[in-house]
Amino acid sequence: MIGFTELFNTPALSKKIFRYLVRKTGFGSWRFRFETGSLARPNYAYLVYQAALLAKRLGEPRVSVIEFGVAGGAGLVEMERYAEKIEQMLGVKIEIYGFDSAEGLPAPADYRDLPYHWKPGFFHMDMALLRSKLKRAQLVIGDTRDTTQSFTEQFNPAPIGAISFDLDFHSSTVAALRILEADHKYLLPRMVIYFDDVVGTEIELYNDFTGVRLAIHEFNRDHVKRRLSPLYYLRAIDPMTLWHHFMWSFHAFDHPKYGQFVSKENQQIPLQ
């Protein structure tokens, strides 16, 4: 049995305590808190930053970041704050869009939507209150099956560089993933994606045959030139950080800019 002293000397717990203290005290600059993963929603900061960084390397002056499943809106408000800081860091204009029905969860379509865990009406939005707090994010309200299809024509967004999916259901996620079928001018050739409902607890028992994981599998099955994959390097560098296991990458192999060089110019390793 691990003792009290040994417990607090474990690297994972020490890192967690450090991040908590930095977040609560506001210690250091915003960039320091971002780079140490000490922000309130480090996964959202990572999404916004990576989207803007790739846009900059590709010569894109603007980029879009999307949240599917806004609910109360706390995540969208936080994303706005991060976007303001990252615009200053990278000089790329960041557009933010939040998709939601504003009515809470609908009734599950079938067993794949996990009716043993979700109930209709969960996560209802107070739209008036949320709109009063938003500064730049635009709400895309309606059934995801419809709004995903009309989004580009209605909003003419900058290329999408990152997405957070938090729709809970298999059926809703399948509908939302259709945004990745958009014309290449509305997408960066690669993007980072956060899927909220892929790990869970002993209650959900998320698996590859229901829910969001099934939706990801079906998207890959049905698309040869556009694919989703776990973001392996995050899990490798820090497997104890939970949100790293929620991150995926999207690759549009058919994108005209897919092969545009964005890496370090000099990668030669000199012989010592």
258 in a structural domain: no
Taking the C-alpha atoms of residue 214 and residue 197, their distance in angstroms, rounded to an integer, is 11
Confidence band, pLDDT 50/70/90 cuts, at residue 5: very low
Instruction: Specify if 22 maps to a domain.
Output: no
Q: What is the pLDDT of residues 113-123, one digit of tens each?
A: 999 999 999 99
Report yes or no on 28 lying in a domain. no
Task: Give me Rg for the CA atoms of the chain.
Answer: 19
Strands 247-252 and 226-230 come out as: antiparallel
Say if 62 falls within a structural domain: yes
Rounded to an integer, what distance in angstroms lies between the CA atom of residue 81 and that of residue 74? 11
How open is the CA angle 227-230-231, to the nearest 5 degrees? Answer: 110
27 domain residue, yes or no: no
How many domains does the chain divide into?
1
Helix (H, G, I), strand (E, B) or coil at 174: helix
The C-alpha atoms of residue 228 and residue 210 are separated, in whole angstroms, by: 17
pLDDT of residue 26: 84
Residue range 20-34, pLDDT digits in tens: 888 888 888 888 888
pLDDT tens figures, 226-235: 999 999 999 9
**Whole-angstrom distance, CA of residue 132 vs CA of residue 209:** 40
pLDDT of residue 11: 63
Quick: pLDDT tens for 46-60.
999 999 999 999 999
Per-residue tokens: 8: 């607090």
Three-state SS at 161 = strand
The structure tokens listed for 103 are 């009515």
- Would 192 be classed as within a structural domain? yes
**Distance (Å, rounded) from C-alpha 2 to C-alpha 152?**
55
CATH number at residue 65: 3.40.50.150
Which domain range does residue 158 map to? 40-252
In this predicted structure, which of 32-41, 46-55, 119-128, 135-144 has the lowest mean pLDDT? 32-41
As a residue count, the chain comes to: 272
Q: For residue 51, what are the CA distances in angstroms to 158, 160, 182, 187, 221?
A: 11, 8, 17, 11, 25
**259 found inside a domain:** no
Instruction: Report the alpha-carbon distance of residue 163 to residue 69 in Å, rounded.
Output: 11
Evaluate whether 250 touches 180 at the Cβ level (below 8 Å): yes
Q: What is the pLDDT of residue 50?
A: 98
